[in-house]
Amino acid sequence: MASNDGSGEVDPALEETVSAEDAGVTPGGAGAGGGRLSAGSKLGRYEILEFIGGGGMGWVYRARDVELERDVAIKVVQPTAAGASGRARLLAEARAMARLHHRAVVPVFDVGEYAGGVYVAMALVQGGTLHDWMHAEPRPWRHVLARFIEAGRGLVAAHDAGIVHRDFKPRNVLVSEAGEVLVADFGIAAASADGDDGATPRDASSVAGTPAYMAPEQAAGRAVDARADQYSFCVSLWEGLHGERPQEAATRTQGARIERSGDAPKPRRRVPGWLTDAVARGFAPVPDKRWPTLAALLDHCHRRLGRPRRVAFAAGPIALAAVVGGVLWTSKSPRPDPCPAPARALEEIWGPAARARVEAAFSATGAPFASAMFARVGPTLDRYAAAWRDQVVAACRATNVEHSQSADLLDRRMSCLEARRAALQQLTGALADATRDVVAGAPAAVAQLAALDDCDRTDELLASGPTPSGERRVDVAAIRTRLGDAATARLRGTYRAALDTAEAALRDARALAWAPLTAEALAEVVQCREALLLPRGELADELTRVAASAKDDQRLVLAWAALLEQALDEGDYLRAKVLAGPTSAALLRAEVTPALAVRTRVKLATAAARNDDHDDARRYLDEAEPLAVAPGLRWMLIHTRGLIERDGHAQVRLEEAALETARQEYEAEHPIVAKQLMFLAVARHRVGDLEGAEAAAAEAMAIHERAGDTRGTPALASLLQLRASLAGRRGRPRDALADLERAGEIFRDAGMTSSIASTERLIANVYSTWLDDAEQGRAHYQRALEIVASLQGTNSIAYADLEASFGAMLGRRDCAAARPYLEHAIRVLEPSRYFTLVAAYGQLGECLEDTEPAAAMRYYEAGLGLCRARGCEPGHEANFQAAVGQLLIETKAGRPRGLALLREAVVGFEAAGNPDMASELRAIIAHPPPAR
């Protein structure tokens, strides 16, 4: 776009150089083949509102996104005006900018086609350009340098992504009304040689750009790299510092010899010599004589300015308080309003530009549910940021205006608020660099943000011990940053990396010995280990003590819930019942987020159901019902009601209802929907509906495949395990093995050792049950036993559970070998009445039936009682009825009950699809053996 620099004459050096086929676009905005779009015109979901401007690279309009109800900027190249090269260039711009998620780069939302042309939708930045700002009035050199450093960070982000802008100039940098600096118009950017945007060699070296700012090698048509952007940046910065561009640089694009070194240009304004020299080096005519990278130049400027690179509260709560209310510790410099709203404190973390960056990042993932997920988290973060600002002002006023609290209490409140701000910064940073997994998990991650009200509870704050000061305060900030990195890795699904980072932060937090920080670190380690299904009992125990000491209700509840969850994972239902008491008590005392309150009650309900306390289970879920207002929580409640339902067909109906709710809350392609389809498949499998189970599993698999889940996630691995079980039952053991081998690889890559053991167990079952290969089955069972023994010991529920299955497999061929495994498993599992006892009772009873019939009867009766109390897989209860019945009918006293059990078994086998066994039992009922 042309500009006159205030002189009244158009400077042709400010016009972009474009190829002949692009010359149909005129500065006025009209194309050779047609006029501008009029107000009310439609481009996809966008309605044109007004023409903003245009130039050699296209026209720009303000438009309305009618679906999301927001104004955007639309850049259009008409097909008659642009030609093939112009359209390709604009698409390259969209691809380049969509890959950049940085606070100093204008976010791109969408790209589309219009009547053969192309349009790009991006954030509408209210304000002007950097050129307008720096020429509006003489600016102090420090102010100019600060603005350019921000823009430079955006360019560095582009270079790190392999992108060269190739037309950097002050007019292509926007300055919002809030003072944000954003680099725009990557319209002629080209990926570097190792990029992946498909740019051709001609695109990388053709003469395109603005002559007044163009590097000599670019003007000569040679290939360019990031050093060309450095040249343009330094010419632009010189202009901002001195009021005009360096003439020495301008001549280099007008035919002068590129190879000459040239002297440094003479300064025109009072600017420090070190800065003049640094900038002049950046536009040296020979690329090798410039700074190695633009980042090196920016770092040099920071060091010479003598201040840290980041000043946004890196020093902790004292710095935060000082920004809000001046120097709070004295009253020597009173202000009209000592506690203004800290708008800048969250500007980069969650302001208009940050919000737009996150939305663009979500869209760039291509996830079909991205728009819905952003519509959910965006307003929540808006409210959180606004509440944070209100809390900061209230804390400041209580000390400096109302004089109702001490400086010490202000420091504690600010420390708490700084922790919340740091967590918000980490979360929004992760969202701005979103992957599909991050988008899928964003609502849950946002819901877990710690409550701000905690920072206003003075009694708890005063009881938590003195806040760190001096260097220890800096250490606190550094540890919290690492904990944020761990939480980000956990959100991305890289659980092992998250755990390593969190454990390192925990070591430092313990050394610092400040309870609130230690509680934060312990909570993150516990959550990482929970994601990996690793033991966390000792850490969760420690967290209960530390969180209580720190008066941290949120993490205290999380600790008890983690202990309860581990007991459930390990099948130790008796311990889960014991833990339910303190977990419930902590939940009732604490004021926690609704998401944590619902999830904890879900765990309590599950524990109650595992102990046959179904009334308590329903009560916990009823208590959670009014709290489940956030999307995703209602789905969880319905699914849990299905889990605690004892009737298999009723469970299927509830899982089907949960599926419909998940689709409403998450969109059809969301991973949660795939997860719920898997739960539905399991429920159908339990009632013998193998065809329906396979259909649900196939639908879940299709969601993973459409999502491009090629690297494999733990959720996909779990689905593969289920699909393998179904394939085995349906007579496809080789398909089952292929799925299980893939699942094992995924779990190994994720470092999920416990899940590797479960996969080995399933592989053992395939070999022993469907491929009749006892040796391979035994080998895989023993590998699984070794893994579980190393994690939890040989007297754990998990080890005994696996041992029961192994003993059942051995017992079909070698009762003597199986007996010690089965007897040990029964001793460990009986107190919790764990469901694998069914297999152990049945196999040990069968082994003893000929030699020790009385002992066999005890085990059969125990198995029958367990099935009736807790429910069994189809046919298992009928097996016990048949076994007990056949032993009883051999005695006169037991024959009546024995015949009754055999008749029940006939019904059970028919329902389970086993007519042969039903027929055999009918024959026995008709002609029972003589009674003893």
Residue 289: other Cβ atoms inside 10 A: 12
User: Using CA atoms, how far apart are residues 659 and 676, in angstroms rounded to an integer?
Assistant: 6
Tokens of 300: 């040099």
Backbone angles phi, psi at 912, to 5 degrees: -85, 0
Report DSSP letters for 837-884, one per residue.
HHHHHHHHHHHHTTT-HHHHHHHHHHHHHHHHHH--STTHHHHHHHHH
User: Using CA atoms, how far apart are residues 859 and 566, in angstroms rounded to an integer?
Assistant: 29
Give the DSSP letter of residue 816: H
CA atoms within 13 A on the CB side of 187: 32
User: Using CA atoms, how far apart are residues 662 and 654, in angstroms rounded to an integer?
Assistant: 12
- State the residue for tokens 């760039």: 364
Residues 6 or more apart whose CB falls under 8 angstroms from that of 457 comprise 551
User: Using CA atoms, how far apart are residues 495 and 516, in angstroms rounded to an integer?
Assistant: 24
Cα→Cα distances 326→264, 329, 331, Å: 42, 9, 9
Report DSSP letters for 479-499, one per residue.
HHHHHHHHHHHHHHT-HHHHH
Cα→Cα distances 438→139, 404, 517, Å: 42, 43, 26
User: Using CA atoms, how far apart are residues 464 and 515, in angstroms rounded to an integer?
Assistant: 7
Burial of 626 by CB count in 10 Å (0-12 exposed, 13-18 middle, 19+ buried)?
A: exposed
What b/e sequence results for 832-844 when a residue is b if at least 16 CB atoms lie within 10 Å of its CB, and e otherwise?
bbbbbbbbbbbbb
Task: Indicate the residue type of 268.
Answer: R
What b/e sequence results for 97-108 when a residue is b if at least 16 CB atoms lie within 10 Å of its CB, and e otherwise?
bbbbbbbbbbbb
Tell me the CA end-to-end span of the chain in Å, nearest whole number. Answer: 107
Catalytic residue selected from 167, 197, 437, 709: 167
SS3 540: helix
Cα→Cα distances 884→444, 826, 830, 909, 918, Å: 50, 19, 20, 15, 15
Tokens of 336: 């009209």
Give the DSSP letter of residue 65: E
Using only the alpha carbons of the chain, give its radius of gyration: 34
User: Using CA atoms, how far apart are residues 72 and 65, in angstroms rounded to an integer?
Assistant: 7
Give pairs for 578-581: CB < 8 Å, separation 24+.
579/607, 580/604, 580/607, 580/608
Active site residue 167: yes
Q: How many helices (H) and strands (E) does the chain have?
A: 39, 11
Cα→Cα distances 168→2, 229, 472, 572, Å: 15, 6, 43, 64
What b/e sequence results for 250-282 when a residue is b if at least 16 CB atoms lie within 10 Å of its CB, and e otherwise?
bebbeeeebeeebeebebeeebeeebbebbbbb
Backbone angles phi, psi at 242, to 5 degrees: -110, -5
Q: Which residues are catalytically annotated?
A: 167
